[in-house]
Structure 1
Amino acid sequence: MDIFTLDIRTLNFIVILFSVIYCIGLLLFQVAQKPIKGLSLFSLSIFIIGTGPLLLSLRGVIPDYLSIIGANLFIAAGFHLTLYSLSLFRGYSVKLTKFSSLMLLVVFVGFVFFTYFEPSIKNRVVVISLYMAFVTISTAVVVIKGRNEDLPLATRMMALSFMAYGLFMLLRVVLSLSGAEIKNFMAANLIHQLTFLFSIILIVSMSFSMIWMINARLLRSIHCLSYQDPLTELQNRRALDDAIPLFQQQAQSAPVCMILSDIDNFKSINDQCGHLVGDDVIKVVAKVTLQSLYDSAVAFRLGGDEILILLPNCNLEQAKQFTDELRQSIVKLTIDEQPSLHVTSSFGIAQLSPTENWKACVERADKALYRVKHNGRNTLAIER
């Protein structure tokens, strides 16, 4: 095992270098983009992890409480902060972080005891390795089980890196306990040299995975924006154009109904109350529309106050019941800026025929809607 050796001071320098580079890079990324929860703490954790080896490399130059206790506590605190930051980033409970905080106190007591009261490098290695095993395996759990939607491949890569590092730390504990007392840590055997090499690999891997996940989030956000109406969060015309072929195909084997609606007297609302209130009206109507949809139903904003709803696996009678419930929900709405404003909507319903063009179905729904508005509004009509 001692045939192949690595210089610990050189590895320390590489750890420090990578930590600083990735910390600065991620912080600049955070500044340039919309702030991402947990990213600044994640960047700081990488820097703190690198500070530990810096102090460690000054052993013999600075006091032991800095080069031994301080160095290892910086490393432990850095990984603790990594666990906390990834809990925030992935939307996971901070319970493991709280337990990690208590273990940090145990690490501190252990290092003080095995430095001043019963000096033992081997026991210090066991203490820090056990903590590192716990915190990195816990981080792997957080990354995998986090609630936030992230790129699966990137999350698995990050989790695997932390899990592998944690298992290596357990192996280090076993080999340290079965080995002789360490006389000089800077000249320790290969298992301890590999710790620094694997730390470099972990820093690179977790930083790359983090950038990968952030980029995936940005791409997904851009994709959503291109298919979503920014005011109402309903899908837009582009999304409708992509969805129509799918619904036309579904209409070959199951009923698909289309509902076309708009807000009654919307022009008067804009003229009398202002366009900002008009926007608020559109938003609350869109919100209650979204809340009323079942899983496979979709709503689109066509423009202005017009909303188109597609209901798959739904016949005209079911569509009529759905629409009337939605109509009653809209009647109950109130606008904060104009509490006396009474909001209603009118609806036209048509069923998509397996043989007709979807535009013909829109025209029938529009015809039904026109009939409703001509006959008094705040109701619905079906055009067969």
Structure 2
Amino acid sequence: MRSNPATQIETEQPTPQRGNWLNWLKFDARAYTMIGALIAIWVLFSLLHERFLSPTNLSNLFLQMSVTSILAIGMVLVIVAGHIDLSVGSLVGFIGGVIAMLNVWYDWPALPVIIVAIAIGAGIGVLQGWIIAYKAVPAFIVTLGGMLVFRGLLFGTTGSVTVAPLSPGLKSIGQSYTTDLIGWILGIIGLFIAAALVFRKRASRKQYGFAVEPMPLSILRVITIGVLVLGFVAVMNSYKGIPVPFLMVVVLALIFTFITKNTTFGRQVYAIGGNPEAARLSGINIKRRVMLVFVLCNTLAAIAALVLTARLNAATMTAGQNYELDAIAACVIGGTSLIGGAGSIMGALIGALVMSSLDNGMSLMNMESFWQYIVKGSILVLAVYVDIYTRNRKNKAA
């Protein structure tokens, strides 16, 4: 007896699987170790100083981490592509000086100043990226030279004096907060977006016959996100509201997470860092992509300069000093491999929060500044060691 072809086709289609709870509860040990370390740091400093977890200090903490986070977002792309940028700290200082001069000395309004600052950052990114990508000069050398050049330009253009104060419109970029109502609206919108993404991913896996996590686990994910988001809003609203610079970080993180995960450009950047020769053979225009990575990184440095200068209400000669090291450390602590080809925006943000928490906590404890350098340097070395150790274990297992 001959079987019905239509029946055969139906029986051969994949059927969705629920998946085992244990399989879905498996996690990235590196990522959760980092989150555990952050929680341990917060618990330690809260025990040592009662003000650490106060709404006032937490608001200051998220405000302080904004500049490092913006720089780290751009640095992730550079490091993933297999390069490094040592100039972003000095670039923040130089562009901050230009911002203050235009606004204070020449009375430029906020909008033209913002446009010029971003244009300068993008232009410098084009120049550095072109030298690195098309002239094959190592990024370490180009950006090390840029670090010195931009710091010198800051001293030369400002006459080595502090330029202040900024106009209220420009200052508000770094010092303003959302109202309570806007904070709750943003929190609810964020919760709905997160829930939509969770259930959309679930529906997509089910449609294509892949294993689907149990519904209670999906609901638990949404509840956890809701508690974190709405709890954050409640804590921030109990002080002044959500800092606008931190909202900028969230928006930029979402944009660049989408770029890295859902665009051809993002996938090509990871391919270039993971295996440049294979990327070249697959037809990727490596030079153009590398130059664009530096354009994005230096444009984000210009945005960081806007935030820092507005928050300080001045351009100072030490602005941005060592910020490139904090950005690199945030990326590495967050799981970005210095070898290239691996890293995430979210990991870099957690790394930036770790660095800022250490700075903030040790400042509250009135610890001398040299201890901050010792602790952050030790954590950076430990993070690189863990990355190399993890990679070696994976290679041996393969």
Normalised by the size of structure 2, how large is the TM-score?
A: 0.22
Structure with more of its chain in strand, by fraction? 1
Normalised by the size of structure 1, how large is the TM-score?
A: 0.22
Structure with more of its chain in helix, by fraction? 2
Larger radius of gyration: 1
Q: Per chain length, whose mean CA-contact separation is higher, i.e. which structure has more relative contact order (CA < 8 Å, sep 6+)? A: 2
